[in-house]
C-alpha cells in the first residue's frame, strides 16, 4: 500500500513537471513533438509488452472490432489532449493548462451523470456550479473563453469515460492506443524531417529528449496504473491536484506568465468548487467507514 501511495504521488508529480520537458523542445513544431511522443511511446510500450509477455492481452483485444473502435476513439481523444497540451505549454499558456486540469475532475463528475446516468449529490452539483460560475465569469465579465482549459479538461474527461468502458490495464491500453495512430505520426515524422522541419542537426541532448519522450509519456501512466491497483481509488483521486498545482507554480514563478486579478478570481471559483467536492468525498468516505465499524460492532455483539 505504501508503494501505491508513492506511485500515485510520483505519477502526478511527473505530470506536473512535464511542462519543463516540453519547454526545452519549444523551438520545434508542436506537431513534430506530438508525433515523436506518440511514435516513441509506442516503441517503449512494445518493449515493455515484450519484457512482461503481455501479448495474449493485446491479441485478445485485436480480435474484438467493437472494443478496438472504442480504443481508436480513446486514441483520438488523447492525441487531441496531448497536442493541445504541448501547443499550450510551448506558447506560454501553462496557467491555462493548469486551469484545464483543475476543471477536469468536475467535468468527469458532470460527464458521469450525462453518460453513465450516475446520481450526483447536492455537494457535487454545488461544486460544478461554482466552477461553472468561474468559467462564465471569465466569458461574460472578462470577455475571454478559456478554449485551452476547456479543450484539455473535456478531452481528458471524455478519454477517461471511454477507458472506463474498456477496463484495460494501463500498458495494454496505451500500447493499443498508440498503435492505432502510430502509422500516421511515423509518416508525419519522416515528412517533417524530409522538409527540414524536424530535429535533424540538433544537439545530442535534444535528440535524447525526443527519443525519451515516450518514456516521459508512459512512465506516469504505468505508475498511475499501479497506484489504482494497490490503494483505494478515492485515495488516488486526492493526488490529482498535485499536477495542476505544480504547473501553476511553474507558469507563474519559473516562466513568468501573467497571473492577473481576473485570473485569480476565476481560479478562486474553481478552487472553491474543488474544495466542496473534496469535502463531500471526505464526508462520504467517513460515513461509509463509520457505518462499516457500526455494523462490525453489532455483529460482534451478536
| Distance, CA of 187 to CA of 209 (rounded, Å) | 20
Where is pLDDT greater, at 76 or 228? 76
Most confident of 68-82, 101-115, 142-156, 210-224: 68-82
Where is pLDDT greater, at 47 or 167? 47
| Distance, CA of 262 to CA of 188 (rounded, Å) | 40
**Is the pLDDT at 270 greater than 70, yes or no?**
yes
With H, G, I as helix, E, B as strand and everything else as coil, classify residue 1. Answer: coil
Where is pLDDT greater, at 1 or 64? 64
Q: What is the mean pLDDT of the chain?
A: 88
Distance of CA 102 to the CA centre of its chain: 11
| Distance, CA of 144 to CA of 84 (rounded, Å) | 18
Contact between residue 237 and residue 281 where contact means Cβ atoms under 8 Å apart: yes
Joined grid coordinates for residue 258 = 501573467
| Distance, CA of 197 to CA of 48 (rounded, Å) | 30
The model's pLDDT over 276-288, given as tens digits with 9 standing for 90+, comes to 888 887 787 787 7
Kindly give, in sequence order, each residue whose CB lies less than 8 Å from that of residue 147, ignoring residues fewer than 6 positions away. none
Q: What percent of the chain has pLDDT over 90?
A: 51
User: Is residue 139 very low, low, confident or very high in pLDDT (cuts 50, 70, 90)?
Assistant: confident
| Distance, CA of 257 to CA of 19 (rounded, Å) | 13
User: Is residue 138 very low, low, confident or very high in pLDDT (cuts 50, 70, 90)?
Assistant: confident
pTM for the whole structure? 0.87
Amino acid at each position: 500500500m505504501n508503494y501505491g501511495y508513492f506511485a500515485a504521488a510520483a505519477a502526478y508529480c511527473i505530470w506536473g513537471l512535464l511542462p519543463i520537458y516540453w519547454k526545452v523542445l519549444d523551438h520545434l513544431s508542436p506537431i513534430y513533438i506530438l508525433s515523436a511522443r506518440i511514435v516513441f511511446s509506442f516503441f517503449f510500450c512494445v518493449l515493455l509488452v515484450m519484457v512482461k509477455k503481455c501479448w495474449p492481452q493485446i491479441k485478445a483485444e485485436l480480435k474484438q472490432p467493437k472494443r478496438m473502435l472504442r480504443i481508436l476513439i480513446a486514441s483520438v481523444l488523447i492525441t487531441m489532449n496531448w497536442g493541445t497540451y504541448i501547443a499550450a505549454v510551448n506558447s506560454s499558456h501553462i496557467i491555462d493548462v493548469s486551469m484545464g486540469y483543475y476543471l477536469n475532475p468536475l467535468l468527469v463528475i458532470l460527464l458521469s451523470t450525462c453518460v453513465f446516468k450516475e446520481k450526483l449529490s447536492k455537494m457535487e452539483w454545488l461544486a460544478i456550479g461554482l466552477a461553472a460560475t468561474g468559467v462564465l465569469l471569465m466569458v461574460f465579465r472578462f470577455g475571454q473563453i478559456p478554449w485551452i482549459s476547456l479543450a484539455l479538461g473535456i478531452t481528458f474527461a471524455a478519454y477517461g469515460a471511454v477507458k472506463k468502458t474498456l477496463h484495460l490495464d494501463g500498458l495494454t491500453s496505451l500500447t493499443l492506443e498508440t498503435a492505432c495512430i502510430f502509422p500516421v505520426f511515423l509518416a508525419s515524422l519522416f515528412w517533417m524531417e524530409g522538409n527540414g522541419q524536424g530535429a535533424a542537426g540538433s544537439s545530442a541532448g535534444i535528440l535524447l529528449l525526443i527519443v525519451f519522450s515516450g518514456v516521459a509519456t508512459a512512465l506516469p501512466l504505468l505508475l498511475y496504473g499501479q497506484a489504482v491497483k494497490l490503494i483505494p481509488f478515492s485515495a488516488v483521486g486526492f493526488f490529482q491536484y498535485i499536477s495542476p498545482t505544480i504547473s501553476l507554480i511553474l507558469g507563474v514563478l519559473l516562466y513568468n506568465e501573467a497571473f492577473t486579478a481576473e485570473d485569480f478570481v476565476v481560479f478562486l471559483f474553481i478552487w472553491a468548487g474543488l474544495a466542496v467536492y473534496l469535502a463531500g468525498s471526505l464526508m462520504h468516505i467517513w460515513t461509509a467507514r463509520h457505518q462499516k465499524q457500526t455494523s462490525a460492532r453489532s455483529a460482534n455483539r451478536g
